Amino acid sequence: MKRFFATLALAVVSTFLAACTQNAAPVTEPSPVVTASPTADDSAATEEDIIKFERDWVAAIVNKDVAALERILAEDFVGTSVRGETFRKAQAIEDIKKGAYVVQSMNMDEVSANVYGDAAVAFTSQEEKSAYDGVNSSGHFHFTNTWIKRNGSWQVVASHGSPYAK
């Protein structure tokens, strides 16, 4: 009888430990540049969350944080630059990695967002000091960015920029 209870106790403890292991989230080091990543729990994002993701994106560009950009930009991301050229995620990241797009500063002076369930549209205005392929590309720009929540994570799928003259 003692053997039966010992076996039962061992089975219960083993099952408990297995359940805990399956539910445990992997521990990852947070990015030193981006304090919040565009991942969300099961609750709907708020405008403040999307605004934070926008600020994280700017920080990732300025700090050349490729890992953060990989998380932020969706695989099917398409951007339209302030010069009217379109580009995809791979090109955006490659331009940062290789130094084709060098940003000294990006100062956002306006940021707002509207959330529509698993989609959000953000509007930003920023003053940028930058160069692209060695040519000064600094200026004041407006962007409209579209964010989508997929598999519990928010990512930007589209961005459109245009010059703004005050």
User: 140-156 pLDDT, tens per residue?
Assistant: 999 999 999 999 999 99
79 contacts: CB under 8 Å, gap ≥ 6: 86, 87, 88, 92, 158, 159, 160, 161
pLDDT in tens, 72-120: 999 999 999 998 999 999 999 999 999 999 999 999 999 999 999 999 9
Give the mean pLDDT of 42-60.
88
Task: Fold for 2-163, please state it.
Answer: Nuclear Transport Factor 2; Chain: A, (3.10.450)
Calculate the average pLDDT of the chain.
80
The answer to whether residue 139 scores a pLDDT higher than 90 is yes
Domain boundaries, the chain: 2-163
Q: What is the pTM of this model?
A: 0.74
